[in-house]
Amino acid sequence: MNIENDNIFWSPKFTLRLEDFRGEPDEKKLFHANTRVNLEYFFNYNDRKTSSRFKIRINKIIVKCSVDLTKSWIKKEVITNPHFPSLSKHEQGHFDLGEEYARSAEIKMNNKFSGKSFSCESTIVENAVNEIKEMLDKEFKFYVYEYKKANDGYDEETNYSRNSSKQIEYNQRFEKLHNEQM
């Protein structure tokens, strides 16, 4: 398990546990739990100064999926509920769905940007890297938006884990992620 700054990064051998939900439950919400999934990217590059500007070559983009433990919560009254195991599995599904979208975003962003050089306006390397980051941020926001739409769809289709046949379909789909060799 890879925990960093109250975030757990997705791993095929790890599933969320009750103690991972450290956030304060929002009692105003009708649902019983919330898993705060984050997608983020990193990139490595080489820089080269041309006559008056920098050229940045993107080598590789890595997209990671994590859960923010301090913003994920489960209402205490449902822990003893017989429905709790299916709710717990449903919450893991949010994490797994995030991993699916992280992998997809990584492939698409690498296909579009890796191995390519970009001329920057700046004459200072840090500013040139920031120009590249702004360009990548715009692209990445689209993938985060797509994940959020799919995440909402997951809740709707499974009725927050209450539609057991649909939840089983998703569970089987996500099980494949956990069984893959990384």
Tell me what pLDDT residue 181 has. Answer: 64
Residue type, 87: L
Tell me what pLDDT residue 98 has. Answer: 98
Instruction: Taking each helix axis as running N to C, give the angle between helix 84-113 and helix 164-179, from 0 to 180 degrees, rounded to the nearest 10.
Output: 50
Query: Do 149 and 142 meet the contact criterion of CB atoms below 8 Å apart?
Result: no
Tokens standing for 177?
């992620």
Tell me what pLDDT residue 1 has. Answer: 60
Q: What is the pLDDT along the chain (182 residues), one digit of tens a residue?
A: 667 789 999 999 999 999 999 999 999 998 999 999 999 999 999 999 888 889 999 999 999 999 999 999 999 999 898 888 899 999 999 999 999 999 999 999 999 999 999 999 988 999 999 999 999 999 999 999 999 999 999 999 999 999 999 999 999 999 999 998 65
Continuous segment of H or E residues that includes residue 38: strand 37-49
